[in-house]
Amino acid sequence: MPEIIIVGGGITGAAAADALARERHAVTLIEKHGIAAMASGRTLGGIRQSGRDAAELPLARAAIAMWAGLIDTLEVDVEYRRSGNLRLARTPAEVEVIRALVESQRAQGLDLYFLPDNTAVREIAPAMSPNVLAASFCPSDGHANPIKATRAFADSARRHGATIREGVVVTAIRVARDRVVGVDTTAGFIPVERVIVAAGVDTPGLLAPLGIELPLSTKVVSVVQSEPLRACLDQVFGVANADCAGRQELDGRLRFTNGLRDRSVDPARWTGDSLAPSANIISDLVTLVAHVLPIAGDARVSRTWSGFIDLTPDALPVIDVPESVAGLVVAAGFSGHGFCLGPVSGLLCADLALARPPRHDLAAFRLARFEERPIAPTALTLHG
Ligand SMILES: Cc1cc2nc3c(=O)[nH]c(=O)nc-3n(C[C@H](O)[C@H](O)[C@H](O)COP(=O)(O)OP(=O)(O)OC[C@H]3O[C@@H](n4cnc5c(N)ncnc54)[C@H](O)[C@@H]3O)c2cc1C
């Protein structure tokens, strides 16, 4: 019988499985599709501190320190490169947005610099267009290969004794006398006293029958990947209003994504196939990106796909132990920037599942915050 079950084989669940297995706990990860099938395999793969809410900054910093060592701890080159992040301004109004961002984040101790004109931007990223008027630059941000990284955590967990079950759906979490007693799955009931729910956009559906409300809206963003090009861009780039972001992968492919569209979707009604973006979406996205990175307009498109964003009202995740059900840990709602945090989110899930003090302050990530005070919806900062 497992000691702990993890629902979800994205980077959060896979990193949690690895952390727990390394401590010799009997952990089983259950993933309904395959490891990295959802957001963690569809992401841009940006790893950044810049542009983050102050509450998330300590986690992002700790994550960045870990990313550099994953090649050794996971024994896989996850293609992590600490090559910087640029957030671009395309209009005078956006220049002021970027200037203010740099000031506020420098005050929080981040190594973020203001590049005041196109010359300064192109000294760092020569492929950028003359349309870019200014940018922020965070040299300690970077990017990695999402599928390699997520699978590397799962493989490492397996090597350390975890059981990974793919193609199995957790259909319900069973509770008796306010304690977790097991999970129902498409492969039968599994008794267990501790469950970590890291199921991305499907998390609210698993919690609702337990009387726990997680206010997530599910948004769709789309991604274009080009054929390999000559090396032309080291940094991840985003833009002031977060309507697009991109990077060049190590094999030369450009990978770029659009921002949020307003409409929320019901994740239960979407399948892998129906997540294919329309020609109009692709064309609009290429136009947006080519405005700042002209080479993107001439690149041959190799693949396109979409992914879900699990957006909370304040665009911060929930990493918490709900009070009403003992034995339950929730880690979801990463709101478009949870790939970077994955290594740390996994450790935090392990701390909470083992009922020891979490290694970071999780006050900002409590589930109860949504009930305690009205939260004004926050704009998503999806930019790598
Ligand atoms: C296009 C795009 C670009 C992004 N860009 C960035 C970026 O540049 N930087 C960044 O940091 N973040 C980015 N993000 C966000 C980031 O990818 C996510 O925050 C992160 O991957 C979330 O990981 P997760 O493990 O919490 O969730 P997921 O990766 O969604 O994993 C949840 C898993 O749970 C499984 N599951 C769900 N329900 C069940 C069930 N009942 N039983 C069993 N399994 C179940 C799902 O199949 C899924 O595999 C982006 C996301 C997208 C879509």
Distance 100 CA to ligand 1 centre (A): 30
Q: Is there an atom of ligand 1 within 6 Å of 133 CB?
A: no
Three-class DSSP category at 308? strand
Q: Hey, whose CA ends up nearest to atom 51 of ligand 1?
A: 43
Show the CA angle centred on residue 74, arms to residues 37 and 195, nearest 5°: 55
Q: Is there an atom of ligand 1 within 6 Å of 285 CB?
A: no
Q: Is there an atom of ligand 1 within 6 Å of 345 CB?
A: no
Best substitution site from 32, 214, 237, 340 to test ligand 1's pocket, by max atoms within 8 Å of Cβ? 32
Q: How far is CA 204 from CA 201, 342, 370, in A?
A: 7, 20, 14
Atom of ligand 1 nearest to the CA of 334: 19
Q: Is there an atom of ligand 1 within 6 Å of 334 CB?
A: yes
Instruction: Give the CA dihedral 344, 349, 351, 355, nearest 10 degrees.
Output: 160
Which residue reads 């992590």 in tokens? Answer: 80
- Distance between CA atoms of residues 57 and 249, nearest Å: 25
DSSP state of 274: G
Best substitution site from 5, 40, 174 to test ligand 1's pocket, by max atoms within 8 Å of Cβ? 40
- Quote the pLDDT of residue 58: 96
- Quote the pLDDT of residue 272: 64
Q: Is there an atom of ligand 1 within 6 Å of 340 CB?
A: yes
Segment 33-79, tens digit of pLDDT: 999 999 999 999 999 999 999 999 999 999 999 999 999 999 999 99
Q: Is there an atom of ligand 1 within 6 Å of 337 CB?
A: yes
Q: Is there an atom of ligand 1 within 6 Å of 338 CB?
A: yes
- Quote the pLDDT of residue 377: 65
Instruction: Decide: 253 and 295 in contact? Cβ < 8 Å.
Output: no
- Distance between CA atoms of residues 193 and 186, nearest Å: 19
Instruction: Return the closest-CA partner of residue 229 out of 82, 127, 77.
Output: 127
Q: Is there an atom of ligand 1 within 6 Å of 255 CB?
A: no
Instruction: Decide: 194 and 327 in contact? Cβ < 8 Å.
Output: yes
Q: How far is CA 217 from CA 87, 250, 347, in A?
A: 26, 33, 26
The strand pairing partners of 320, in sequence order, are 330
Q: Is there an atom of ligand 1 within 6 Å of 335 CB?
A: no
Q: Hey, whose CA ends up nearest to atom 25 of ligand 1?
A: 10
* Residue ranges with strand state E in the chain: 4-7, 27-31, 46-47, 85-89, 113-115, 134-138, 142-143, 163-166, 170-176, 179-185, 188-191, 194-197, 217-226, 236-239, 244-248, 254-258, 301-311, 318-320, 328-332
**Which stretches of the chain drop beneath a pLDDT of 70?**
262, 271-274, 376-384
Best substitution site from 18, 38, 80, 261 to test ligand 1's pocket, by max atoms within 8 Å of Cβ? 38
Distance 309 CA to ligand 1 centre (A): 7
